[in-house]
Structure 1
Amino acid sequence: MAAAPQRDVGPKSKRAVLVHRARDELIQYLAVSTYLAVCFGALIFFKAAVLGSEGIEYQRFGLALAKALILGKFVLVLERLNIGNRVKSTGVLFADVLVKALLFTTLLLVLTVAEEVIVGHLNGQSVRDVLKGFAGGTMPEVLATVVLMFLVLVPYFAYRELAAALGEATFSQLLFKRQRLKRAQRPQRR
């Protein structure tokens, strides 16, 4: 599809375009961050419940929000860089979702480690000390964190891929507008 011809846009129009784009990006950021905050909050609630049953107090709900805000920005930046779109499509939507989720899980892990190392450095910690405490500090906890991140990203990318395949407006209408759905009839048993 050919791009619309560029016309000279006045200062007010340029400002309006920038405001509109900033608003759209803020809405996307809040949507992604809210989704991640709900997922991370549920995981921390579960961890707190399990530890609480053993008499160990654990309440780090602020951590869920902080991580969601950071990772939400990382996700949007990676999407703006078309990172997931550079991988050749398999033609199977489910496989494409899994590939993108795996790619983004890997990249988010790398970016999170880099963020932790930078914050640790600013707080006077060595890289070794930061990595020892990363994601709980033990290999099973690190692997569990990676698996959970992957599982959180699968529905996110399923949503994104379905919206792209069906069209954003059609997909939103299917999800959020009341409508009469046709249900497939079950075969009669004899």
Structure 2
Amino acid sequence: MQRTARWMLEEAKRILGIFVYLWVVFGLFILHEHIVLSRHGMSYGFYGLAFINAWILAKVMLVAESLDVLPYFRGRPLVYPILARSCVFGVLLVGAYALEETVLGLWRGKSWADSVPTIGGGGVSGLATAGLIMAVALIPYFAFRELGRVLGRERLRILLFRDGTTLDLPDRRGGGAA
């Protein structure tokens, strides 16, 4: 029973971390959209969209992360799994968002054509642009995930939130990792 409770607590922490990160990213996107639209005299104020999308897409990311679709990059320089995961999840999140909006449109009684969202201005280039933006936005998330995996979560937490200079890290002059 304790093992199950511990696992559930760890999963809850993971989804909360993913959710908060996505909420901040999506909130910044919505804030940017508000600024751009206000320059043209248009108003935009639905900030709840960031919260809802972050929650739904955090669940998608949690499931996809647990599948570990990129084991090929284990043992390679960290830049490879960070960039690969960012790109794969950027495309996954844009696709999940498009699917979500399409299903919502169909549920509201719209036709299939009217339900498909226009992402990034529409078309393949719009989808590619949105995927690229999401991939870049996910780089810090996966960088911290990979660093936590390699260094250990507690060690990374100490480096980030306490005096990391007191850790026994390899010296740059001694040929260790920088």
TM band (smaller chain): 0.7 to 0.9
Show the counterpart of 2:176: none
Following TM superposition, the consecutive aligned residue runs of length 4 or more in structure 1 with deviations greater than 3 angstroms are 87-90, 139-144, 179-182
Q: Answer with 1 or 2: which has the greater Rg.
A: 1
- Give the counterpart of 1:72 among 58, 62, 68: 58
Structure 1-normalised TM-score?
A: 0.78
Structure 1 residue 34 displacement after superposition: 0.7
Cα pair 1:135 1:141 within 8 Å, conserved: yes
- Which stretch shifts more, 172-181 or 35-44? 172-181
Unaligned runs of 5+ in 1: 1-13, 185-190
Give % identity.
30
Distance 1:179 1:167, change over 3 A: closer
- Output the CA distance in 2 between the equivalents of 1:138 and 1:144: 10
- Output the CA distance in 1 between the equivalents of 2:149 and 2:75: 15
Cα pair 1:84 1:103 within 8 Å, conserved: no
Q: Does 1:35 align with 2:21?
A: yes
- Output the CA distance in 1 between the equivalents of 2:46 and 2:79: 34
Distance 1:143 1:98, change over 3 A: same
Show the counterpart of 2:3: 17
Structure 2-normalised TM-score?
A: 0.82
Show the counterpart of 1:134: 118
CA deviations 1:63-113 (Å, max 9, x no partner) are 11111111111111101112233x444712112211111111222233223
- Output the CA distance in 2 between the equivalents of 1:36 and 1:28: 12
- Output the CA distance in 2 between the equivalents of 1:167 and 1:30: 19
Distance 1:110 1:49, change over 3 A: closer
Show the counterpart of 1:47: 33
RMSD between aligned alpha carbons? Answer: 2.5
Structure 1 residue 121 displacement after superposition: 2.3
Aligned length: 169
Q: Does 1:163 align with 2:148?
A: yes
